[in-house]
């Protein structure tokens, strides 16, 4: 038997095992014990607990998780229980989330605000606006801003967000700029535009936001960014492509800048982040260029892993669709990058949403299809 045939059979066996594992229901277990194990110091114990809870029947898992969110004495468990609960897509999650906006658990508030960004409710505007005046946790406030951008049809919210652009520490301001850019908030362009000229930590955020928002003013604003460091110039290239201009030249230029020998680390990061941002918009050429970088320069692997994984968490469908159609060698390389990137990012909430999207794609695919095998392999590789 040839070596290539042996390798092919091995791949098929592994894929079949992954499919079986994804299809097999979790064995009956004490859900309360499993939920408590989510905070175990032993890594296999807590990851296995999460796997079993995910595979439990919704009729049993949802009430148990909801109760843990409300009453469990371990604050870490409360947050993890909420995150796992969100993947079940239960209607009652909305009512639960509303009660947690002012919860004492800051990690839980962060997860709740992230969930509210994905499930906006205009009735919560007063509560979110109130939270904006009192929330000081540096990792919670960006999630709160994201939740507010999702209900920014309200002029009161728009005014508040525009005010936040020039208020507080740069860390908070960067989160507002980023969120408004992703929201395509045209009402904020005139306030973001001056920041694109201010050399400093906010400049690249502002440039990319203008590109994402696009519109008639974008070209003139980006053209006015002159005399900036190389990393900012590369970000301008990415922003111009996002605004709909020159992608055919900007994508190759970013790829070349990332892989140029002796390039400054800041320029490399900017080029990779720019490619990831363009790929996030659905540009297939940028995604291919991003994934080709480790093969050209092995030292770029870690940065590419983070860029690709950030893209996957923000736009699961883009990555899942690409994986579904990619040739096996490219797909396997991407799975390795995603595994390493997810481990580096450690974003429990967004990773759970990616798993939920993967699981949904798995069940929508027909039995024995390549899509089902791909999603099962992804679930196994990422240890969901």
Whether 26 shows a pLDDT value over 60: the answer reads no
Distances, alpha carbon 98 to alpha carbons 89, 108, 115, 350, in Å: 16, 12, 11, 19
Dist. CA 31–CA 265, nearest whole Å: 47
Q: What is the pLDDT of residue 2?
A: 39
Structure tokens at 379: 């679930």
Q: What is the pLDDT of residue 29?
A: 52
Angle at which helix 265-280 crosses helix 203-213, to 10 degrees, equals 20
Q: For 57, which DSSP code?
A: -
Residues 6+ apart with CB under 8 A from 138: 171, 172
Q: Which two tokens stand for residue 26?
A: 């979790």
Using DSSP, state whether 365 is helix, strand or coil: coil
- What's the pLDDT tens digit per position in 253-290? 999 999 998 999 999 999 999 999 999 999 999 999 99
Distances from the Cα of 267 to the Cα of 143, 281, 366, angstroms:
28, 21, 44
Nearest to 151 by CA among 119, 188, 176, 111: 119
Give the model's pLDDT for residue 295: 87
State the average pLDDT over residues 63-89.
97
Q: What is the mean pLDDT of residues 228-247?
A: 97
On whether the CB atoms of residues 182 and 251 are closer than 8 A, the answer is no
Angle at 165 between CA 161 and CA 166, to 5 degrees: 130
Is the pLDDT at 344 greater than 50? The verdict is: yes
Q: Name the residue among 223, 235, 226 with its Cα closest to residue 267.
A: 235
Whether the per-residue pLDDT at 6 is higher than 70: the answer is no
Among candidate residues 44, 51, 46, the one with its CA nearest the CA of residue 76: 46
Residue 258 pLDDT: 96
Note the pLDDT of residue 71.
96
Phi-psi region of 208 (alpha: psi -120 to 50; beta: other; left: phi over 0): alpha
Global pTM value: 0.89
How many CB atoms neighbour CB 89 within 10 A? 12
- The pLDDT assigned to 15 comes to 43
Predicted confidence (pLDDT) per residue in 30-60, tens digit: 899 999 999 999 999 999 999 999 999 999 9
What number is the average pLDDT over the span 222-236? 96
- Give the contacts of 112 (CB within 8 A, at least 6 positions apart): 82, 97, 100, 101, 103
155 exposed, middle or buried (CB, 10 Å; 0-12, 13-18, 19+)? Answer: exposed
Predicted local confidence at residue 168, as pLDDT: 86
CA distances from 81 to 33, 143, 314, 318 (A): 12, 18, 21, 27
Q: Where residue 297 falls among pLDDT bands split at 50, 70, 90? A: confident
- 87 secondary structure, DSSP code: T
pLDDT in tens, 137-172: 989 999 999 999 999 999 999 999 999 999 988 989
Domain boundaries, the chain: 27-90, 246-359
3-class state of residue 29 by DSSP: coil
Q: Give per-residue pLDDT as tens, 95-137.
A: 999 999 999 999 999 999 999 999 999 999 999 999 999 998 9
Quote the mean pLDDT of the chain: 91
């Amino acid at each position: 038997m040839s070596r290539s045939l042996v390798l092919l059979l091995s791949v098929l066996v592994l894929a079949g095992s992954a499919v079986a594992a994804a299809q097999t229901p979790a064995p009956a277990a004490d859900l309360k014990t499993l939920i408590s194990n989510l905070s175990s110091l032993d890594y296999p114990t807590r990851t296995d607990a999460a796997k079993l809870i995910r595979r439990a029947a919704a009729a049993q898992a949802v009430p148990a998780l909801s109760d843990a969110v409300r009453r469990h004495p371990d604050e870490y468990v409360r947050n993890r229980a909420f995150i796992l609960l969100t993947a079940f897509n239960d209607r009652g999650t909305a009512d639960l989330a509303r009660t947690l906006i002012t919860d004492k658990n800051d990690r839980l508030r962060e997860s709740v605000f992230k969930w509210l960004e994905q499930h906006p409710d205009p009735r919560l505007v007063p509560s979110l606006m109130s939270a904006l005046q009192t929330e000081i946790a540096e990792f919670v406030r960006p999630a709160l801003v994201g939740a507010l951008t999702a209900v920014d049809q309200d002029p009161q919210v728009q005014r508040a967000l525009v005010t936040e652009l020039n208020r507080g520490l740069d860390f908070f301001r960067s989160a507002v700029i980023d969120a408004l850019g992703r929201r395509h908030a045209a009402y904020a362009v005139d306030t973001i535009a001056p920041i694109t000229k201010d050399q400093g930590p906010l400049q690249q955020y502002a440039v990319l936001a203008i590109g994402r928002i696009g519109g008639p003013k974008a070209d003139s604003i980006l053209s006015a960014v002159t005399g900036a460091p190389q990393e900012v110039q590369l970000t301008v290239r990415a922003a111009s492509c996002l605004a709909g201009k020159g992608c055919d030249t900007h994508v190759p230029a970013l790829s070349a800048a990332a892989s140029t020998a002796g390039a400054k680390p800041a320029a490399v990061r900017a080029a990779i982040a720019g490619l990831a941002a363009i790929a996030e918009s659905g540009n297939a050429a940028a995604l291919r260029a991003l994934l080709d970088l480790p093969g050209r320069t092995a030292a770029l692997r870690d940065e590419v892993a983070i860029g690709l994984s950030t893209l996957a968490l923000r736009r699961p469908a883009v990555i899942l669709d690409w994986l579904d159609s990619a040739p096996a060698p490219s797909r396997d390389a991407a799975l390795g990058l995603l595994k390493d990137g997810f481990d580096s990012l450690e974003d429990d909430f967004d990773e759970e949403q990616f798993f939920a999207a993967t699981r949904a794609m798995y069940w929508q695919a027909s039995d024995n299809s390549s899509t089902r095998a791909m999603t099962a392999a992804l679930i196994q590789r990422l240890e969901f």
